[in-house]
Structure formats: C-alpha cells, structure tokens
C-alpha cells in the first residue's frame, strides 16, 4: 500500500477538483452544475483518504465521512430548489436566471 | 471487547445554552408535526421561552473551558457573540408573523429552521477544530438556503437561494480542501496545533490556509468573491435578510477572528498584505456600487459588503487592538444591519411597496416614527457620532494607525465619504420631499417598541461605549493567551 | 501491480469526469457520475479505507444518484432542449486559468512536505468507528440534525403549492 507515493493521489485529487470547479462555471443545466459540485467534494475526499493512509490516522476518513453525508444533504436541498424553480417558471438553464440586475 | 471505550462523560455545563436551543428546536419540530394547524402564538412563546432560558444561562453561568475532547470551546468571545445571536433571534420572532402572513408564506416549519440556524451559528463561534467548523458551517448554510427560498410564488427568492447554494457549496468545498491540505501538513485537525507547529517547508500549509480563507471570504462577501450576496439578500424574505446580515456575519467572521492571533508568528507579513488589499477593494467596490442602486434592499446589501470590508480592515492588523476593534464593529454592524433591514420589512407590509428609492420620499409625513428610526440607523451605518457605528469605525481607524497601515486608513475615509452619498440621499428624500406613495401601515405596539429598542441601543451603545468595551476587552485578551 | 490498479482506477475516474463535464444529455451525465463514484470507491478500497468505500457506495451511488435521476426525469426535456450543453465563452476563457491553477498546485504538491508516518491501523472499520463514537460524537450528532433539517427543507421546497 505504501508503494504508491502520496503525490500521485494528490495529483488525481487536484485534477478532479479543478475539473469540478470548472464544471460548475461552464455547465448550463442546473442539475449538472450541482453534479459538478459533488465532483469537487469527491476530490476533497480523495485527498483526505490519501492523506490518512499515509499518516496512518483515521481523522481524515472521518472528515471524509462527514463531507459525504453533508454533501448529500446539500444536494437534496439544491434539488428541491431546482424543482421549485422549475415549477414557478419552467426554466432549466442558468441563462434564464437573470431576473435581478445591478 | 475489553479495549472498547472507557466512558467519559463530557462536561455538559459548558454547552447548556446550545442544549437549550436544541431542545427548543425539537419541541417546535414535534409541535408542528403533531398539531394539524399549529397555533403560531404557541410556537412563538415556546421559542421565546427557550431562547430566554439559553440567554439566562449565558449571562448567569459564565463557565469557561473545553469539552467534547477539545472540539468545543467556550470562552468570553463565544459567549458574547452567542448572547447577541440569541437576542437578535428573539427580536426577529417579534416581527416575522405579520410579514409572512402578508406574503402568504407562513409555514409552521419556520420556527424550527430558525432555531437550527441559530444552533449552527452558536457552534460555529465556539470551536477550533476543522471538522466542527465544517459541520457548523453546513448547518448554518443549509438552514439559510431553505429560509431564503421560502417565499411562495416568488421567483427571485428561489433564484437567490440557488445562487447562494452554488456559491456556498463552492466555498465549503474550497474551505474543506484547504482543511485537507492543512491536515496533510500537520497530522492534526485542530487549528491551534496546525498553526503553532510550523516546520521549514511550508507549501502545503500556505496552500491549505489560502484555500480555507478563500472559502470563508466567499461566505462573508469579500470582493471579488461576493457574487451571490446581492441576489441572495434581495431575493430572500426581508426578515431573513436581516438575520443573514447580522447573525450570519457574526457566525462567519468568528473563525477568522479565532485564527488571527495564531498567524502572527509565521505569517504576519503575508496576512497583513493580502487581507488589507482585499479589504480595500471590498470597501471601495461595495460603496461605489451602492451609489448607483435604485432598489433600497439591494443598496443595503452592497452596504453590507462594504461593512465586511471595514471589518476586514480591522482583521488585517494582526494585533490585539485590531481584534478588539473587529469584535466591536461586528456586534455594532449586527445591530445596525438588522435594524435597517427590519425597517424595510415593516415598510413592505404596505400595498405596492417595492423598496424603490423614490418611494421613500416624504416618509416623515406618512410614518414619522419609522422615518426617524430609519434615519438614525442610516446615520449609524454611516458612522456619525454618537452612534455605535461611529465608535466602531473610530476603533478600526485607531487600530489601523497603531499597525501603521496608513494607506488603508485613507481608503477607509474615502469609502466612508462615498457612502455619505447614498445614506444622506435617502435621509433627504425622507425628510425634505413630499410624499409620493400612499402608505397604509399599521404597526402593532410590540413592533414599535422593538424598533424603538433597536434604535435607542444604537445611540446608547455609541454614546456610552464602555458598556460593550467592558466585555470585549477581556475576551479579546483571552483569545491571545495560548 | 499496485501501479496497475492505481492507473486503472485513476484513468477510469478522469474519463468519467470528462463525461460529466461534456456530455449534453443529463441522463448520460448522471451515468458518468455513477461511474465516477464507483471509481472513487475503488480508490478508497485500494487505500485501505474499507468502511468509507462501503459508505461511499451506499450514500452516493444509491441515495444521491436516485435523487438526481428523480429530478432529471421529472423535467420534460423536449421543452428545454436548446439549453443543454455548456457555455462556449466561459469554456474558452476558463481553460487557461484551469491549466495555470493546476500547474501551481502541482508544483506545491511535488515540493511539499508532509507530516510523519505513524504506525499502521489494523482493523479499519473498528478504528474509524471507535473514533467516531468517542472523539467525534459531537459533530456526528449535529450532522444528524442537519440531515433532518435538509430533509424537511427539501420536502417544503419541492411540494406542490395549492
């Protein structure tokens, strides 16, 4: 298990996180924006578990556990808001969310 | 089975206020569940009694210390902030019933959501541990997303909530990524340990700290990370905006204030440089954009961004005097911001009121009490003596000069000068023009009393600053003691 | 052998990420998301975090994905077909920023220095469980109340207003 250096996992984590944040900015569909946010949170989890296996501690895995659970909660609320938006205005793209200006 | 665990009960006396709020929240939740049509009077009474008991616990049982294996920490700073959070929540409950009834969005679940937002805020100001900070941050944020979106048939409320969720989620992802790098560097999840055991090769620590701070900067509305704030504040129901601007700011600034004494050893120069630049940009941007706003709610949102800038100027000075100034101004802005948004909430009850600037003309004829109170609040936001806003700005100014950040003090003066443009314009409109809209407003006795209480406190705490200072000074000194 | 597994898992993960980012149809995007979850769970297993791998599968691949699929399928796609895909302008401008950030981070990672190596943990679920229920019990309780609140909020927001 220690044959793979930690740097390799960190590079994977960075790539995932960068692409996740990039996806949040670039994607048009509201649901895929939320999905990219979950992607970024998965990247954070990879960092924590990788760090944990190197340091032989468990605190990082516990943080990753909390991140998984609370990301689920946030996704639930986000999807609820999307359903509410769609009911009110039948909109499904971030283009349409430009009511407020200034 | 032997090595399982040794039971060691945590010291629950320290968390009595939070336990009270939690129990109140659960009682509200069960009440709403069990009764078909919840009597709002009962719910409000239960909430008020619960929060009052928690408030009494904080005032009369000043226990200090750590519990829960070092994850929770109660000291003068957290008790002080929790006191004001509880107070403001109780005041909010006085106003919300008629407002929500008018907007046809009276949900019984509101009380539970509010108590849970309060609970998250109380935990956020009481810990140094990264996991507890993350969980408390999520608690406050999720409650705020839901509360922002709870206006029936109002598209901008859902839009504001979605923007808040997107950028809030991004900020939490960044903050936890930073926490990950800091954990990797030091092997511990406690901020005090991380910042005091600094080795030679600091790449991970700096990277982690920068990401963590960017995450929090998004939450407090620092420019250029503020994009969610005007839309969320404008779309949310106005009492919730008042709550987010006051209790939300108190909660989100607290970890930064706790972090401040620990960065002095190794990162003082970098900290001062970055925070002061961001503070300057925030102050100028917030005030300049507020000048061109036609909608008063959005104007106050940008003013809130500008005030985050002033508070950050105090944080930039990594010394004891800066800490005291920051705590003072945080509490001052919590009161001012809450009051000003609440006046808007009261005005919105009249038909056809859309928070437009022109509708404020001649307010002193239609609603004299409100006009006078609003004028005093605007003057407090501006920083005119003898209001509490003036004392706050003066303290920040003093700490900037003691830290030799003269250029930032100059920027602050310029920014305050710009802000007179819009504060005085509203005041002039209210008092010197003829009324343009027909205002029908019936305020209950409680509401008049609460507005009067808020306004008087703004002036009183400003004229006699020693009241607050007596509490802030020792708690700030405590934060510096290791 | 280790490198083979690692290479397989990470390329699987990165390919799924490109799928999530660039596939137009949301149903295809959610399928790539599921494959990403599986890849990450595989990585956790490979790193020795068995409990977390199992929990990742249960929470993400079952609960969250079901939620997403539910929302995606209640939206009538014929009406909003023109709003699929991504913003071209942000794509073009964002890409160099992304590359620059990646280079900076990679530099910090490769030159960085981490904490000391402790002794190995034998039984992962037992160690994690022990830590959760003693040291980290307090955040666990707060997190459970957050889940309750989120459930309440999702129901409140998603239900039909009469």
What's residue B78's pLDDT? 87
What's residue C162's pLDDT? 59
Instruction: State the residue range of the domain holding B249.
Output: 92-103+146-479
In tens, the pLDDT along B351-365 reads 777 777 777 777 777
Domains identified in chain B, total number: 1
Q: Are A28 and C84 in contact (CB under 8 A)?
A: yes
Using a CB–CB cutoff of 8 Å, tell me whether A12 touches chain B. no
- Considering only CB atoms, A19 lies closest to which of C17, C51, C147, namely C17
Q: Are B324 and B395 in contact (CB under 8 A)?
A: yes
Contact across the interface for C153 and B107, Cβ inside 8 Å: no
Fold of the domain spanning C2-158 = 1.20.120
Instruction: State the residue range of the domain holding A60.
Output: 6-90
Cα distance from N-terminal residue to C-terminal residue, chain B? 38
Is A57 a member of any domain?
Answer: yes
- Which stretches of chain C sit within 8 Å of chain B by CB? 105, 108-109, 111-116, 118, 130, 133-139, 142-143, 145-146, 148-150, 152-153, 156-157, 161
Using a CB–CB cutoff of 8 Å, tell me whether B128 touches chain C. no
Is A14 a member of any domain?
Answer: yes
The stretch B38-65 carries a mean pLDDT of: 83
Does residue B64 or residue C39 have the better pLDDT? C39
Enumerate neighbours of B (3 or more CB pairs within 8 A). Answer: A, C
What's residue A94's pLDDT? 55
In eight-state DSSP terms, residue A27 is B
Does residue B404 or residue B167 have the better pLDDT? B167
Contact across the interface for A66 and B170, Cβ inside 8 Å: no
Range name among A24-28, B120-124, B163-167, B196-200 with the lowest pLDDT average: B196-200
Is A24 a member of any domain?
Answer: yes
The stretch A70-91 carries a mean pLDDT of: 85
What's residue A48's pLDDT? 92
Using a CB–CB cutoff of 8 Å, tell me whether A95 touches chain C. yes
What's residue B403's pLDDT? 82
Enumerate neighbours of C (3 or more CB pairs within 8 A). Answer: A, B
Contact across the interface for B204 and C145, Cβ inside 8 Å: no
In tens, the pLDDT along C1-28 reads 788 888 999 999 999 999 888 888 888 8
What is the rounded CA–CA span in Å between residue B218 and residue B229?
Answer: 9
Comparing CA positions, the residue from B129, B119, B125 lying closest to residue B81 is B125
In tens, the pLDDT along B118-146 reads 999 999 998 889 999 999 999 999 999 99
Comparing CA positions, the residue from C72, B150, C29 lying closest to residue A86 is C72
Domains identified in chain A, total number: 1
Q: Based on C-alpha coordinates, what's the Rg of chain A? A: 17
Contact across the interface for A72 and C33, Cβ inside 8 Å: no
Distance from CA of C97 to the nearest CA of A (A): 10
Using a CB–CB cutoff of 8 Å, tell me whether B159 touches chain C. no
pLDDT beyond 60 at B203 = yes
- Considering only CB atoms, B165 lies closest to which of A21, A57, A81, namely A81
Provide, as residue numbers in chain B, all residues whose Cβ is less than 8 Å from the Cβ of A17.
Answer: 173, 177
Distance from CA of A48 to the nearest CA of C (A): 10
Distance from CA of B246 to the nearest CA of C (A): 22
User: Which percentage of chain B shows pLDDT scores above 70?
Assistant: 95
Is A28 a member of any domain?
Answer: yes
Enumerate neighbours of A (3 or more CB pairs within 8 A). Answer: B, C
Provide, as residue numbers in chain A, all residues whose Cβ is less than 8 Å from the Cβ of C68.
Answer: 31, 34-35, 75, 79
In tens, the pLDDT along B418-470 reads 988 888 888 888 887 777 666 667 777 777 888 888 888 888 887 777 777 88
Provide, as residue numbers in chain B, all residues whose Cβ is less than 8 Å from the Cβ of C134.
Answer: 5, 69
Q: Could you tell me which chain A residue has the CA closest to the CA of B144?
A: A77
User: Whole-model pTM above 0.90?
Assistant: yes
Provide, as residue numbers in chain A, all residues whose Cβ is less than 8 Å from the Cβ of C10.
Answer: 8, 12
SS (H, E, C) C68-108: HHHHHHHCCCCCCHHHCCECHHHHHHHHHHHHHHHHHHHHH
Q: Quick count: other Cβ atoms within 10 Å of Cβ B416?
A: 19
In tens, the pLDDT along B235-279 reads 889 899 999 999 999 999 999 998 888 887 778 888 888 898 999
What's residue B214's pLDDT? 92
Provide, as residue numbers in chain B, all residues whose Cβ is less than 8 Å from the Cβ of A54.
Answer: 184
Contact across the interface for C68 and A75, Cβ inside 8 Å: yes
Is B131 a member of any domain?
Answer: no
pLDDT beyond 80 at B199 = no
In tens, the pLDDT along A50-65 reads 888 888 888 889 999 9
- Considering only CB atoms, B201 lies closest to which of C113, C149, C153, namely C113
Is B440 a member of any domain?
Answer: yes
What's residue B450's pLDDT? 83
Is B273 a member of any domain?
Answer: yes
Q: Which of A40, A48, A59, A69 to mutate to test the interface with C (most CBs of C within 10 A)?
A: A69
Provide, as residue numbers in chain A, all residues whose Cβ is less than 8 Å from the Cβ of C67.
Answer: 75-76, 79
| Interchain CB contacts (distance < 8 Å): B and C | 98
Q: Could you tell me which chain B residue has the CA closest to the CA of A34?
A: B166
Q: Are B142 and B113 in contact (CB under 8 A)?
A: no
What is the rounded CA–CA span in Å between residue B147 and residue B151?
Answer: 8
**Residue B295: strand pairing partners:** B356
SS (H, E, C) chain B: CCCCCCCCCCCHHHHHHHHHHHHHHHHHHHHHHHCCCCCHHHHHHHHHHHHHHHHHHHHHCCCCEEECCCCEEECHHHHHHHHHHHHHHHHHHHHHHHHHHHCCCCCCCHHHHHHHHHHHHHHHCCCCEHHHHHHHHHHHHHHHHHHHCCCCCCHHHHHHHHHHHHHHHHHHHHHHHHHHHHHHHHCCCEHHHHHHCCCCCCHHHHHHHHHHHHHHHHHHCCCCCCCCHHHHHHHCCHHHHHHHHHHHHHHHHHHHHHHHHHHHHHHHHHHHHHHHHHHHHHHHHHHHHHHCCCEHHHHHHHHHHHHHHHHHHHHHCCCHHHHHHHHHHHHHHHHHHHHHHHHHHHHCCCCCCCCEHHHHCCHHHHCHHHHHHHHHHHHHHHCCCCCHHHHHHHHHHHHHHHCCCHHHHHHHHHHHHHHHHHHHHHHHHHHHCCCCCCCCCCCCHHHHHHHHHHHHHHHHHHHCCHHHHHHHHHHHHHHHCC
Is B18 a member of any domain?
Answer: no
Residues near C145 by Cβ (< 8 Å), separated by ≥ 6?
Answer: B22, B25, B116, B119, B139
Contact across the interface for B162 and A73, Cβ inside 8 Å: no
What's residue A102's pLDDT? 31
Tell me how far CA of residue C148 lies from CA of A72, B113, B172, B444, C155, in angstroms: 12, 10, 20, 35, 11
Within the 18-37 window of chain A, which residues sit less than 8 Å (CB to CB) from chain B?
20-21, 24, 30, 33-34, 37
Tell me how far CA of residue B299 lies from CA of A37, B262, B420, in angstroms: 30, 36, 13
Comparing CA positions, the residue from B215, B106, B355 lying closest to residue A100 is B355
Q: Are B236 and B147 in contact (CB under 8 A)?
A: yes
Q: Which residues of chain C, if any, have pLDDT below 50? A: none
Is A101 a member of any domain?
Answer: no
- CATH number (domain holding residue A43): 1.10.287.3510
Contact across the interface for A51 and C116, Cβ inside 8 Å: no
Contact across the interface for A99 and B155, Cβ inside 8 Å: yes
Domain ranges of chain C: 2-158
Q: Which residue reads 């930064």 in tokens?
A: B256
Q: Which pair of structure tokens corresponds to residue B174?
A: 């960044």
Provide, as residue numbers in chain A, all residues whose Cβ is less than 8 Å from the Cβ of C71.
Answer: 31, 79, 82-83
What is the rounded CA–CA span in Å between residue B178 and residue B87?
Answer: 33
Using a CB–CB cutoff of 8 Å, tell me whether C113 touches chain A. no
**Residue B190: strand pairing partners:** B129
Comparing CA positions, the residue from C77, C62, C63 lying closest to residue C28 is C77
């Amino acid at each position: 298990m220690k044959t793979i250096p930690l740097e390799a996992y960190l590079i994977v984590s960075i790539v995932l996180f960068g692409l996740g944040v990039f996806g949040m900015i670039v994607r048009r569909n509201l649901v895929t924006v939320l999905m990219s946010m979950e992607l970024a949170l998965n990247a954070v989890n990879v960092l924590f578990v990788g760090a944990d296996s190197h340091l032989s501690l468990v605190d990082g895995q516990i943080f990753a556990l909390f991140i998984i659970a609370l990301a689920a909660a946030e996704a639930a609320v986000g999807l609820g808001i999307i359903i509410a938006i769609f009911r009110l205005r039948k909109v499904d793209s971030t283009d349409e969310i430009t009511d407020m200006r200034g | 089975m032997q090595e399982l665990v040794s039971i060691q009960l945590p010291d629950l006396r320290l968390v009595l206020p939070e336990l009270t709020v939690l129990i109140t929240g659960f009682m509200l939740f069960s009440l709403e569940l069990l009764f078909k049509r919840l009597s709002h009077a009962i719910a409000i009474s239960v909430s008020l009694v619960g929060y009052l008991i928690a408030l009494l616990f904080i005032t009369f049982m000043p226990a200090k210390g750590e519990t829960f294996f070092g994850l929770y920490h109660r000291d003068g700073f957290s008790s002080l902030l929790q006191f004001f959070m509880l107070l403001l929540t109780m005041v909010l409950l006085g106003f919300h019933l008629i407002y929500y009834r008018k907007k046809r969005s009276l949900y019984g679940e509101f009380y539970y959501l509010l108590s849970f937002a309060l609970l998250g805020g109380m935990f956020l100001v009481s810990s140094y541990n990264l996991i507890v900070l993350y969980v408390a941050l999520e608690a406050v944020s999720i409650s705020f997303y839901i509360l922002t979106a709870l206006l029936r048939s109002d598209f901008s409320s859902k839009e504001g909530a979605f923007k808040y969720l997107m950028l809030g989620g991004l900020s939490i992802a960044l903050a936890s990524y930073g926490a990950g790098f800091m954990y990797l560097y030091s092997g511990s999840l406690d901020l005090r340990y991380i910042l005091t055991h600094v080795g030679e090769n600091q790449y991970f620590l700096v990277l982690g700290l920068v990401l963590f701070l960017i995450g929090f900067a998004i939450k407090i509305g620092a420019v250029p990370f503020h994009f969610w704030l005007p839309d969320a504040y404008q779309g949310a129901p106005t009492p919730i905006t008042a709550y987010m601007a006051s209790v939300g700011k108190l909660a989100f600034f607290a970890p930064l204030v706790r972090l401040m004494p620990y960065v002095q050893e190794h990162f003082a120069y970098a900290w001062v440089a970055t925070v002061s630049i961001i503070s300057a940009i925030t102050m100028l941007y917030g005030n300049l954009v507020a000048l061109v706003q036609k909608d008063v709610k959005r104007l106050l949102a940008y003013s809130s961004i500008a005030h985050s800038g002033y508070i950050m100027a105090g944080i930039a000075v990594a010394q004891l005097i800066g800490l005291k100034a920051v705590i003072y101004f945080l509490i001052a802005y919590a009161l001012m911001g809450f009051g000003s948004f609440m006046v808007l909430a009261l005005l919105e009850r009249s038909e056809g009121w859309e928070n437009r600037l022109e509708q404020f003309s001649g307010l002193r004829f239609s609603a004299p009490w409100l006009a006078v109170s609003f004028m005093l609040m605007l003057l407090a936001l501006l920083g005119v003596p003898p209001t509490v806003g003036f004392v706050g700005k003066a303290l920040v100014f003093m700490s900037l000069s003691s830290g030799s950040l003269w250029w930032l003090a100059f920027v602050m003066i310029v920014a305050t000068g710009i802000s007179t443009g819009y504060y005085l314009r509203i005041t002039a409109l209210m008092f010197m023009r003829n009324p343009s809209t027909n205002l029908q407003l019936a305020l209950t006795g409680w509401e008049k009393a609460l507005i009067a209480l808020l306004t008087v406190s703004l002036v009183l705490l400003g004229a006699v600053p020693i009241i607050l200072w007596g509490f802030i000074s020792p708690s700030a000194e405590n934060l510096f003691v290791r | 052998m280790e490198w083979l597994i690692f290479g397989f898992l990470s390329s699987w993960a990165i390919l799924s990420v490109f799928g999530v980012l660039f596939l137009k149809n949301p149903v295809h995007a959610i399928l790539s998301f599921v494959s990403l979850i599986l890849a990450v769970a595989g990585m956790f297993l490979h790193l020795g975090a068995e409990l977390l791998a199992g929990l990742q599968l249960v929470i993400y691949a079952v609960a969250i994905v079901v939620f997403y699929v539910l929302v995606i399928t209640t939206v009538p796609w014929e009406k909003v077909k023109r709003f699929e895909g991504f913003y071209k302008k942000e794509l073009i401008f964002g890409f160099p920023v992304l590359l620059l950030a990646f280079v900076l981070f990679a530099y910090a990672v490769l030159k960085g220095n981490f904490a000391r190596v402790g002794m190995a943990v034998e039984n992962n679920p037992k160690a994690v469980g022990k830590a959760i229920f003693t040291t980290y019990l307090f955040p666990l309780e707060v997190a459970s109340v957050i889940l309750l609140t989120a459930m309440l909020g999702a129901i409140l927001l998603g239900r039909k207003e009469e």
